[in-house]
Amino acid sequence: MHPASVARSTGLWALNHGVPRVVFHLQARKGEPLARIQTDPVLREHPEAMWQQVRERGDLVRGGYAWVTASLDVGSRVLRGDEFGVPLPEPSSPTARRLDRFRDPWAAGPVDPPSLLAIDPPDHTRLRRLVSRAFTARRVAGMEADIEATTHKLLDQLAGERRTDLIESFAAQLPVTVIADLLGVPAEERAPLLGWGDGAARLLDTGLGLRQFRRAERAIREMHQWVNDHVERLRRQPGDDLLSAVIQQADDLPADERPTRHELRALALLVLGAGFETTVNLIGNAVQLLSDHPDQRDALVAAPDGWGNAVEEVLRYDSPVQLTARMVRRPVEVAGRSLRPGHAVVVMIGAMHRDPAVFEDPHRFDVTRQNAADHLAFSAGPHFCLGAGLARVEARVGLAALYERYPSLSVEGHGVRRPTRVLRGFESLPVRLG
C-alpha cells in the first residue's frame, strides 16, 4: 500500500475501531453488560445472562458509552422516531468532516456513507427509493420458483453424502446464488463473492483489531472495483435483473436527483452483501435450533405449512442481526429519559426478542408461537430491511426442501460461531444428513 493510504487507513481504524476498542475493554472490566458481550466470545455465544442484567436495570439504561435498550417497545420507538438518525455524527459537524478526511470512496464499507445504513433523509429517501421501486413484492413472489429450483440443485449435489458442513454446502450457497441471479452477476464471476461478503460483514462491527480491519478493507476494495465494472457493464447491456432496473431508473432522473457513481456503487454493494451475509445465518441458526428440538423438526416435516411461522420464530429466537444503533438528532424523551443530540442508543435486537412483556415464556423456542412475527429482526422505520420478503421466501423454501429430503437431519458435534458481533450465525455446522 502507498504510505499515504497506510496513514489514511490507520487514521480511520483509530477513530472507528482503535478508540472504541479501548473503551469497550475498560467498560467490560467495570462489568458493563454490553461491553462484556462485545469483548468476550464466550458471553457472545450465550448472552442471555447479560441481556437479563440490562433488562433488570430498566427499559432504557445509560451504558458506559451509549444508552442501551433490551425493551421491544423502546427499541421500536427509537428505530421509528424521526428524532433519531444513523449512528454517525451530523454530516456538517467538525467530527464528521474529520472522519471524511480519512475515508476512501473506493473502500467505503456498509456502515460508511453513502451506504443506506449510514445516511439520513433526504439523501436516504432519494437513494432507497431507487431500490424499493424496483424490488417489489411481485418481483419477490416471481422469484419463488427459481429459488426452489436452486435449492433442489444444491441438494442434488449432496446426493450420496452422509455428512456435510451445512454452511459451506447449502446455507451460504443458496442466498449467494439467489442474490447473484437477482443482480445479474454472470455465473463465472461469482466465486469471490463469499470472501468479499465476509470482509463486508466484519466492517459492520466496531472495535476491530488493525489486522482484521486491514483484511476487511482489502476485501471491500476489491468488491468496489468489481461492482463498479459490473454496474458499467449493465449500463451498456441491461438485462431483466433488479440492478439493471435500478441503473436505468437512476440514469433517467433529473440531474439534481441522479445518484453519483459512488452512491450507485455503494447501493449495489450493500444490496449484494446484505443479500447473502444475513440469510446464511438465518438458515444455519434454524438448522441448529431444529437439531436441538427434534420434536419440532418432526412436526414441521409432518405438516410443512408450519415453515413460515417457524422462520419467524428463528428470526425472533436467534436473530441474524443482533444489534443496531441510532444517534439522537433532536432532544427527545423516551421511557422517561431525556436524550440529547449526539447521544447514541444501542438497540439490542437479540435481547429485545426475549422481552417477557411481549413474548410469553420468551426463552422457549416454539415454532407454533402465535406472535412469533412480532419481532424486529428486520429493524423498523426508515431503514427497515429492503430484503425482508426475499429472506423469508429463501428460508421457508430452503428449509422445507432440505427437511423434505433429509427429515432426520441433525447437527453432529459442535458448529463454530462466526466471530462477528452484529451478525450472529455459524461459520461451519457439521451435520448428519440422515
DSSP 285-311: HHHHHHHH-HHHHHHHHH-GGGHHHHH
- Identify any residues that bridge with 84 across adjacent strands, giving them in sequence order: 328
**Residue count of the chain:** 434
**Can residue 300 be called a binding residue for ligand HEM (CB under 6 A)?**
no
Number of H helices, E strands in the chain: 20, 12
Report the amino acid identity of residue 141.
Answer: A
**Can residue 314 be called a binding residue for ligand HEM (CB under 6 A)?**
no
150 to 179, contacts with ligand HEM by CB under 6 A? 179
Enter the C-alpha cell of residue 357.
Answer: 412483556
**Can residue 344 be called a binding residue for ligand HEM (CB under 6 A)?**
no
Q: In this structure, are strands 416-417 and 426-428 parallel, antiparallel, or unpaired? A: antiparallel
Enter the C-alpha cell of residue 58.
Answer: 430498566
- Which uninterrupted H or E stretch holds 410? strand 410-411
Given candidates 390, 399, 409, 433, which one binds ligand HEM under the rule CB under 6 A? 390
Given candidates 77, 128, 230, 418, which one binds ligand HEM under the rule CB under 6 A? 128
Closest to ligand HEM by CB, 270 or 328: 270
Rounded to a whole number of angstroms, the distance between the first and last alpha carbons of the chain is 50
Spatial separation of the C-alpha atoms in residues 271 and 313, rounded to whole Å: 24
CB of 150 to ligand HEM, least distance (A): 14
Q: Which stretch binds ligand HEM (CB under 6 A): 145-153, 272-280, 332-340, 410-418?
A: 272-280
Of 172, 208, 203, nearest in space to 428 by CA: 172
**Can residue 130 be called a binding residue for ligand HEM (CB under 6 A)?**
no
Closest to ligand HEM by CB, 107 or 116: 116
Q: Which stretch binds ligand HEM (CB under 6 A): 24-32, 197-205, 268-276, 296-304?
A: 268-276
Closest to ligand HEM by CB, 179 or 351: 179
Cβ contacts of 248 within 8 Å, gap of 6 or more:
238
Closest to ligand HEM by CB, 230 or 433: 230
Closest to ligand HEM by CB, 28 or 128: 128
Q: Which stretch binds ligand HEM (CB under 6 A): 159-167, 189-197, 289-297, 382-390?
A: 382-390
Q: Which stretch binds ligand HEM (CB under 6 A): 13-21, 317-325, 358-366, 411-419?
A: 317-325
79 to 118, contacts with ligand HEM by CB under 6 A? 116-117
Closest to ligand HEM by CB, 314 or 339: 314
Q: Which stretch binds ligand HEM (CB under 6 A): 6-14, 148-156, 270-278, 300-308?
A: 270-278
Given candidates 167, 377, 399, 411, which one binds ligand HEM under the rule CB under 6 A? 377
Spatial separation of the C-alpha atoms in residues 247 and 235, rounded to whole Å: 7
The crossing angle, in degrees rounded to 10, of helices 210-236 and 3-13 is 110
Q: Are 77 and 87 in contact (CB under 8 A)?
A: no
Given candidates 378, 420, 425, 426, which one binds ligand HEM under the rule CB under 6 A? 378
Spatial separation of the C-alpha atoms in residues 135 and 139, rounded to whole Å: 6
Closest to ligand HEM by CB, 28 or 176: 176
Residue nearest to ligand HEM (CB): 387
Coil, helix or strand at residue 332? strand
Q: Are 412 and 287 in contact (CB under 8 A)?
A: no
> Which positions lie near ligand HEM, rule CB under 6 A?
116-117, 128, 179, 270-271, 274-275, 278-279, 282, 320-321, 324, 377-379, 383, 385-387, 390-391
